Amino acid sequence: MKNFSVTPTAKTLAIGFSLLALVMVACTSADEPDPTATSPAPAATQAPAPTATPEPPTGGDTPLAPTETPVVVEEPTKAPDPTVAPVATTAPTAIPDDPFVILKSIIAEEALPNNYTEVAPGDGELLERLFPDAPPYAPHKVSDIRITTKSNKCVTCHEGGFSAGGSVATGIPLSHYTDQYTLDVSNDLDPRRYMCTSCHVPQVTDPLPWAE
């Protein structure tokens, strides 16, 4: 695993298992009676008070349901204080077999600046899509494009593949002119697809700090 550099050693497993043994003991002593364990008909005295106030422990006699899978516990070598023992075993010198995991969030690794492309429409290079069926990105600046009921500059250029300065805008696909139910193809863009920016988004120019 990329984020987990080293696997636990036998030593930590032993520590783990000793903790587990402690856990099991605590679990047994502190459990509550199972309200579903026997017949649903309750004796009034058995029914817990319907209140949110704290209740004292009542010391149930069946800590684990019969369906519980028995936990296989190896013989613990010792039972160290769980709050300090693991720390104590990670001396800086022990890095080669450091049994511990440091969680690395890939999104926190490195800041990615908000440097969207300033390339004008018509000058952008096509970007590879997220996957073949995904909508293509806008490889040019879109921040000053407003889509209103009266004007849609995206459509103005991309309808039919507008040609400007030697480059051709990616044409709006046939699917965007096809009625979903009748399959009739219209000369007008499917009005549900009018908000181009719901799907076609720009990308920042810096690469991601992690492999895609």
Partner 1 sequence: MEQVTRRNFIKFSSAAVVATASTGLLSNVTRGDVAEEGVEEIEGLEWNKIPCRFCGTGCSTLVGTKDGKIESVKGDPESPVNRGLLCVKGYGLLKIQNGSDRLTDPLILATSKSDPEPKYRKASWSEALNLVAEKMAAAKAEHGPSSVAMFGSGQWTIWEGYAASKLWKGGIQSNSIEPNARHCMASAVAGFATTFGMDEPMGCYDDFEHANAFVLWGSNMAEMHPMLWARITQRRLVETSTKIINMTVASNRTGEMADQEIIFEPQSDLAIANGIANQIILRGNVNHEFLNKHAVFKKGKLDIGYGLEDNFKFAEEASAVTFEEYAEFVSEYTPEVVQEISGITPQELSDLTDVYADPNVKVMSLWTMGVNQHTRGTWMNNLIYNIHLLVGKISTPGNSPFSLTGQPSACGTAREVGTFTHRLPADLVVANPEHRKFAEEIWNIPEGTIPAAPSYHAVEMVRAIDRGEVKFFWSQVSNPFQDFANLNRYVDAVKREDCFVVASDVYPTKTTELADVILPTAMWSEKEGAFGNSERRTHFWKQLTHAPGQAKSDLWQLIEVAKRLGLGNLFDYSASEYPLNEGQLHSDASVEAGFYMEKALWEEYRKFGLGHAHDLAPFELYHQTRGLRWPVVDGEETKWRYNEEYDPYVPEGEGFRFYGNDAKTDGKAIIWLRAYEPPPEVPDIEYPMWLMTGRVLEHWHSGTMTKRVPSLWKAYPHATANIHPRDAIKMDVEHGEKIRVTSRRGSCEVTVDIGGRVKPPQGMVYVPWFDEDVMINNVTLDAYCPISKQTDYKKCAVKIEKLS
At 96, which amino acid appears?
Answer: P
Q: Contact, 211 vs 109, CB < 8 A?
A: no
Q: Which of 92, 131, 165, 166 binds partner 1 (CB under 8 A)?
A: 131
Binding of residue 50 to partner 1 (CB under 8 A): yes
Lookup: tokens for 77? 């070598």
Q: Which of 94, 95, 112, 164 binds partner 1 (CB under 8 A)?
A: 112
What is the per-residue burial (b if ≥16 Cβ within 10 Å, else e) of 38-49? eeeeeeeeeeee
Binding of residue 35 to partner 1 (CB under 8 A): yes
Q: Which of residues 61-100 bind partner 1 (CB under 8 A)?
A: 62-69, 71-72, 86-87, 90, 99-100
Binding of residue 119 to partner 1 (CB under 8 A): no
Q: Which of residues 138-177 bind partner 1 (CB under 8 A)?
A: 143-144, 146-149, 160-161, 168, 170-177
Cβ count within 10 A of residue 141: 16
Question: Minimum CB separation from partner 1 for residue 185, in Å?
Answer: 5
- CA 173, distance to chain mean position in Å, is 32
CA atoms within 13 A on the CB side of 126: 10
Question: Minimum CB separation from partner 1 for residue 171, in Å?
Answer: 3
Q: Which of 10, 42, 74, 167 binds partner 1 (CB under 8 A)?
A: 42
Q: Which of residues 185-204 bind partner 1 (CB under 8 A)?
A: 185, 190-195, 197-204
Q: Residue with structure tokens 């080669």?
A: 96
- CA 80, distance to chain mean position in Å, is 35
Question: Minimum CB separation from partner 1 for residue 201, in Å?
Answer: 4
